Amino acid sequence: MESQPPVYRLHLRDLPSGERPRERLRERGATYLSNAELIAILLRTGTSQENVLDLANRLLSTFGGLGGLARASFEELAAIHGMGEAKTAQLKAALELGLRLLATGSEPRVAVGSPRDVANLVMGEMAFLEQECLRVVLLNSKNQVMGIPEVYRANVSATTIRAAEVFQEAVRSNHPFVILVHNHPSGDPTPSPEDIRVTEQLVQAAKLLDIEVLDHIVIGRSNYNGFVSMKERKLVFG
């Protein structure tokens, strides 16, 4: 009888040094890590076919983000390839701690200082969406994130977007600064001419509402460098 080859699981230490979540957490702090990176730290290992970051992103995509993971049953999570009972227990425990902290009302607000900070907040949930969606990151005067409502899904174009709806929550809650974020299901975050036209229209409309649009970030996938900041590319915001 032939011996079976050993099964190798991809660990965090197998990732390139600049992509290791633990090192990034130590150097910059937990608030600068994406949801997928935080989950990867909890899970520690992936499978023989995918590294732990890919497993974390697959979980977020399958269950529709952190909220979906929190709602998923133990059995649903454990049935995912690469999980099992031990990893599921670790993840469920961490999510429950987060819910309990939220219930205390004392959780600190995340502050963003760069396009990467914003991308890290949403990339795990938005990178693998099959439809385009547009979200608005609401910021206070200290650049603290006050909410990230979704305002459009499936057709982010100039013919369907209404500025009044995009900025409705910012006006209602009196948040003077916003960052627009939308995804490209193709995975390539390069802004299209339509993206630029939509952004120009929304920036002008926001001025009439005394709201400043600080940037528009297009989310793709890691094999396409992850995201593009229109402000960094000097598109519309040049």
Q: In this structure, is residue 168 part of a structural domain?
A: yes
Q: In this structure, is residue 197 part of a structural domain?
A: yes
Say if residue 220 is in the same domain as residue 159.
yes
**Residue 150 to residue 187: CA distance in whole angstroms:** 19
Mention every residue, 6+ apart, whose C-beta is less than 8 A from residue 179.
112, 118, 136, 137, 139, 213, 214, 215, 216, 217
Question: Letter for the amino acid at 37?
Answer: E
Structure-token pair, residue 176:
């003077």
Question: Letter for the amino acid at 183?
Answer: N
Q: In this structure, is residue 189 part of a structural domain?
A: yes
Q: Does residue 156 register a pLDDT over 70?
A: no
Q: What is the CATH number of the domain that holds 50?
A: 1.10.150
Full-model pTM: 0.61
Q: In this structure, is residue 109 part of a structural domain?
A: no
Q: Does residue 6 register a pLDDT over 70?
A: no
Q: In this structure, is residue 224 part of a structural domain?
A: yes
In the prediction, which pLDDT does 13 show? 57
Q: Does residue 52 register a pLDDT over 90?
A: no
In the prediction, which pLDDT does 194 show? 92
CB of 215 closer than 8 Å to CB of 229: yes
- Choice among 11-20, 103-112, 200-209 with the minimum mean pLDDT: 11-20
Q: Does residue 31 register a pLDDT over 90?
A: no
Report DSSP state, residue 192: P
Q: Which of 37-41, 106-110, 191-195 has the highest mean pLDDT?
A: 191-195
Which of 104, 130, 165 marks a domain boundary? 104
Domain that holds residue 140: 115-229
In the prediction, which pLDDT does 184 show? 93
Q: In this structure, is residue 1 part of a structural domain?
A: no
Q: What is the 3-state secondary structure (H, E, C) of 138-157?
A: EECCCCEEEECCEEEECCCC
| % residues pLDDT > 90 (the chain) | 41
Q: Does residue 15 register a pLDDT over 60?
A: no
In the prediction, which pLDDT does 110 show? 81
Which of 104, 131, 153 marks a domain boundary? 104
Tally of domains within the chain: 2
Confidence of residue 155 (pLDDT cuts 50, 70, 90): low
